[in-house]
Structure 1
């Protein structure tokens, strides 16, 4: 036996029966979650990986973590197909799913190898963080705000002129957006700074369906400030978050220098909050920065 191998645990009927019951329960939970429209809750990203890892860890194997990795990878790819998600969803969720699966495996095997009875109690305790957004537990702070501030080398009146011209398609400069392949608008139209003026952001379609579009309408006008409400959203990003309101303001802070600020309120679509909250905050911050690029405010 090499140092990398784990000693083969003794096969017991109780372990096999428990693993089978956990697997069956996991399948039932998956079906219920999908049918009830809770596929964005923490159940999918935390609870189900816990059940999968627990079932594998309770069965004898020389390299349990290797099997967990392989089966978790297959499960992620199958979920991407079954739930009509793209590669970006799998990439974003994978670190969380792998961490939960391998953490559960390590704990279950440690308790089992120590011949402790706590192994049965560990599974329901590990499932608790996976209840967020499932209906059994409330969502934690789903309404979030992202703010981006940029100082441009333009006087305030020229900033207003560029804003009035509306956004235009431009290459994505943000490294996170490019690396992850996050959908960005490819068809952009609209202009004006008056009440009722509209800006439209269109997205490319994919094999999973049309890319859709996002329509923003000016609903507040004040000196150096605009407010936008979102009247239509059929965009491909609507699965992950919902736009609520946006505010765009600009103020000259010195000769030829203007500070531009965009604040966007949105509702996070994915749970758990402790993982997807910061992830979406970073990605939407990059997306708002891309909007400033489309407004020629670099």
Structure 2
């Protein structure tokens, strides 16, 4: 008679159950991805938070010991495939990668810790981890999508000379901002237009890429006062339109003493990416650098 280890059957059953659950989670994640893309919610937190949680949960539940290694590999592949499927550039992958990796590995660590502590209901942690990924999905509201960035610079020029330079409009200028250069953030390569009178227009053209035409941004003067000009945006087909929407811009200047003038540009925009706690500060920094580049294009130095 052959002796049978009584622990073999339960272990095999647990292994089969883990594989089945991991497969179901993976299938659910695939369905979520397809639905999100088709419904135009690919900029919501579902893509950057919820899907990595599902991926991590599926891999963490598989009966192997190298979960973090598998999560890293699978997450990397998923990022690259998403970039191709959604026609995103390298800058999007670079900006989203820290969030996606952190969510995936954090979820993996939590689920494995619960499993190793012999908690039979470790899977209940997944719905809780998914909650931050609902922002902007239509199920949960967006958080503070309307943002404002302001950049002020004091130049060593008299106020009347500054007014003349501003009226001449922007000109193409090499990018000086280190973040913009390192990340390869799109900046205008073609600039035209001048004037600070009602109806005057400034056009910012972007170079095309392998993903399509670069497009352009068209701003028009809508209100004028001494030392202040307000712009509205009448057209935006630029490659940056998916990440944010320009609302309004205001250009002001005032004398700060003999031969010195303070110039300020304030821009209101709507953030296009969620979650807010991650992409909000990132877009604030990058748009601040972009507005600084606009000041460079005005040739005030």
Q: Normalization by structure 2: what TM-score?
A: 0.95
Secondary structure at the aligned position of 2:240 is classed as helix
Q: Where does residue 174 of structure 2 map in the other structure?
A: 171
Q: Where does residue 103 of structure 1 map in the other structure?
A: 106
Deviation at 1:63, TM superposition (A): 1.9
Q: Where does residue 60 of structure 2 map in the other structure?
A: 57
Stretches of structure 2 lacking an aligned partner (at least 5 in a row): 1-10
Cα distance in 1, alignment partners of residues 73 and 254 from structure 2: 54
Cα distance in 2, alignment partners of residues 112 and 290 from structure 1: 51
Q: Are positions 1:39 and 2:42 aligned together?
A: yes
Secondary structure at the aligned position of 1:238 is classed as coil
- Asked which structure has the greater CA Rg, the reply is 2
Q: Where does residue 223 of structure 1 map in the other structure?
A: 226
Deviation at 1:14, TM superposition (A): 1.5
Q: Where does residue 234 of structure 1 map in the other structure?
A: 237
Q: Which one of 128, 131, 135 corresponds to residue 128 of structure 1?
A: 131
Deviation at 1:12, TM superposition (A): 1.4
CA deviation profile, 1:51-91 (whole Å, cap 9, x unmatched): 00110000122321111111101110000000000000000
Q: Where does residue 263 of structure 2 map in the other structure?
A: 260
Deviation at 1:118, TM superposition (A): 3.5
Cα distance in 2, alignment partners of residues 118 and 221 from structure 1: 64
Cα distance in 1, alignment partners of residues 169 and 121 from structure 2: 62
Q: Where does residue 77 of structure 2 map in the other structure?
A: 74
Q: Which one of 184, 187, 199 corresponds to residue 187 of structure 2?
A: 184
Cα distance in 2, alignment partners of residues 118 and 290 from structure 1: 53
Cα distance in 1, alignment partners of residues 68 and 257 from structure 2: 59
Secondary structure at the aligned position of 1:265 is classed as strand
Q: Are positions 1:290 and 2:290 aligned together?
A: no
Number of residue pairs the alignment of both structures matches: 290
Cα distance in 1, alignment partners of residues 89 and 145 from structure 2: 22
Cα distance in 1, alignment partners of residues 144 and 282 from structure 2: 14
Q: Which one of 141, 145, 156 corresponds to residue 144 of structure 2?
A: 141
Q: Normalization by structure 1: what TM-score?
A: 0.96
Deviation at 1:234, TM superposition (A): 0.1
Deviation at 1:17, TM superposition (A): 1.1
Deviation at 1:261, TM superposition (A): 0.6
CA deviation profile, 1:114-154 (whole Å, cap 9, x unmatched): 11023111000000000000000000000000000111111
Structure 1 segments, 4+ long, off by >4 Å, are: none
Cα distance in 1, alignment partners of residues 44 and 16 from structure 2: 34
CA deviation profile, 1:28-61 (whole Å, cap 9, x unmatched): 1001000100000000000000000110000122
Secondary structure at the aligned position of 1:160 is classed as helix
Q: Where does residue 90 of structure 1 map in the other structure?
A: 93
